């Protein structure tokens, strides 16, 4: 009789633990969903994501109080983010603008929480597939709305170009009375999706483009890829144009000999035909086509420093110059988390109006200093390399597909992240890091035949 009671008690305990684990999974999945939705469901600076994260923290705290803890991960590459956060927290002691550092710490905490939540939710191959289906649906809806924004008068309510955005605690950026009709029309045909800013949207779609390119479904591979490329094109983000080129090169050359041969033939054909194509695009009445045609010239001028005074490229060069000078003045220690914005404000002129560094690599270097900035670059490259190794050597079809896509995404996003004013609060970036870490852990667990990460 007593033995039966003990068995039933143990079964009840296991059921309770399993139920709490599912509660955390559900809360974590919804948090990732809300992170992907981003600013699209928000009021002023409060997002649905913030509320979802708060609920998840409460659920996790209750589970921890009842003795349920997350198991140690087999791959600890994500722990660099703890060091990253701690360094930024310590940097407040020498920050040239402590309030900016505090705000930046909030951004970091939200972003890292997305990464950690992704690692937990994608605990094995099955949950990874489920999470990617959810993310794929959100991205598909975002691309659909973006195409509507491009080709129709439709505009998502929370968009800088929306006529009703003021009802959501935000201010529109278009003042038709002070802008030419041509400029207004260009704004109105620029998609923003769920990201508020066209550059942020382009950077986000660069992350998910490889998932279309590697997909086994021709409809998604060609239809989804074309829709994504069209949206990126109409954002007018030149850095993202280059990022797409990087994604296509890695996709074509790094995973398949047959695809590499086809890619070389296509690349040679493109090189021969490009002078004619560039000439046609230069004469186009479409502003984006002209931007695409002059991309090579702009890149060469940027490197040589031969850009026109006052254009976006020269302004970006000025922002970087201001940041690097401040880094030198700090003896390589950095100006403090988020304080690169104060550097631009103190410089005055157009730099003060732009504020942000507009190059995330330089932003991290200027904010965190040479040591942590270099460590971040090394961590990013190592993350991408480990993911590539999984893609090349795993025998699991799903893991190979995801790892290959993520490798291309990491390569492309390394370029795309210089297009935005700052990607620190582009939450899909943190999802990208989480997915790579999750794949590394799942692959490691499969090879060592360990049980999945659970509460």
CB 334 within 8 A of CB 373: yes
- Given a cut of 50, whether residue 16 has pLDDT beyond it is no
**For the segment 1-15, what is each residue's pLDDT rounded down to a tens digit?**
444 433 344 444 433
Under the banding of pLDDT at 50, 70 and 90, the label for residue 379 is very high
- Given a cut of 70, whether residue 398 has pLDDT beyond it is yes
**What is the arithmetic mean of pLDDT over 393-403?**
93
How far is the C-alpha of 159 from the C-alpha of 146, rounded, in Å? 11
- Given a cut of 80, whether residue 359 has pLDDT beyond it is yes
How far is the C-alpha of 454 from the C-alpha of 131, rounded, in Å? 16
Could you tell me what percent of the chain has a pLDDT over 70? Answer: 80
**For the segment 279-327, what is each residue's pLDDT rounded down to a tens digit?**
555 555 566 555 555 555 555 555 555 555 456 677 888 888 899 999 9
Cα 228 from chain centroid (whole Å) = 15
Read out DSSP for 407-429? HHHHHHHHHHTTTSS--TT-HHH
**What is the arithmetic mean of pLDDT over 189-205?**
91
**For the segment 423-443, what is each residue's pLDDT rounded down to a tens digit?**
999 999 999 999 999 999 999
How far is the C-alpha of 21 from the C-alpha of 217, rounded, in Å? 33
Between 44 and 258, the more confident residue is 44
């Amino acid at each position: 009789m007593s033995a039966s009671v003990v068995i039933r008690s143990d079964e009840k305990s296991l059921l309770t633990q399993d139920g709490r684990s599912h509660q955390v999974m559900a809360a974590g999945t919804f948090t990732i969903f809300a992170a992907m939705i981003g600013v699209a469901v928000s009021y002023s600076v409060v997002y649905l994501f913030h509320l979802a994260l708060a609920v998840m923290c409460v659920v996790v705290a209750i589970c921890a109080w009842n003795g349920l803890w997350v198991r140690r991960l087999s791959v600890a590459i994500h722990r660099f983010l703890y060091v990253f956060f701690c360094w930024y927290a310590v940097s407040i002691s020498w920050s040239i603008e402590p309030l900016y550092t505090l705000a930046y710490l909030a951004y970091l905490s939200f972003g890292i929480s997305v990464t950690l939540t992704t690692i937990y939710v994608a605990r094995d191959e099955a949950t990874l597939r489920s999470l990617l289906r959810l993310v794929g649906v959100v991205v598909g809806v975002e691309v659909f709305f973006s195409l509507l924004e491009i080709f129709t008068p439709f505009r998502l309510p929370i968009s800088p170009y929306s006529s009703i955005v003021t009802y959501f605690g935000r201010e529109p950026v278009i003042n038709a009375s002070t802008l030419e009709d041509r400029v207004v029309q260009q704004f109105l045909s620029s998609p923003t999706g769920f990201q508020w800013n066209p550059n942020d949207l382009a950077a986000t779609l660069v992350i998910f483009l490889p998932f279309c390119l590697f997909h086994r479904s021709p409809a998604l591979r060609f239809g989804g890829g074309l829709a994504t490329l069209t949206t990126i094109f109409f954002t007018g983000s030149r850095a993202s144009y280059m990022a797409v080129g990087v994604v296509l090169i890695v996709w074509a050359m790094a995973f398949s000999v047959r695809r590499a041969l086809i890619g070389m033939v296509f690349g040679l054909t493109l090189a021969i035909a490009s002078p004619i194509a560039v000439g046609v695009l230069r004469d186009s009445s479409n502003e984006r086509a002209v931007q695409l045609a002059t991309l090579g010239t702009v890149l060469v001028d940027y490197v040589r420093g031969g850009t026109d005074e006052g254009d976006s490229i020269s302004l970006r060069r000025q922002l970087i110059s201001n940041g690097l000078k401040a880094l030198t003045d700090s003896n390589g220690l950095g100006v403090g988390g988020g304080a690169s914005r104060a550097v631009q404000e103190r410089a005055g002129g157009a730099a003060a109006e732009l504020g942000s560094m507009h190059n995330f690599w330089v932003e991290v270097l200027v904010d965190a200093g040479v040591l942590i900035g270099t460590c971040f670059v090394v961590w990013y490259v190592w993350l991408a390399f480990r993911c590539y190794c999984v893609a090349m050597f795993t025998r699991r079809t799903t893991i190979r597909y995801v790892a290959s896509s993520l490798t291309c995404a990491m390569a492309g996003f390394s370029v795309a992240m210089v297009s935005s004013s700052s990607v620190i609060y582009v939450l899909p970036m943190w999802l990208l890091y989480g997915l790579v870490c999750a794949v590394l852990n799942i692959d490691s667990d499969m090879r060592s035949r360990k049980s999945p990460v659970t509460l």
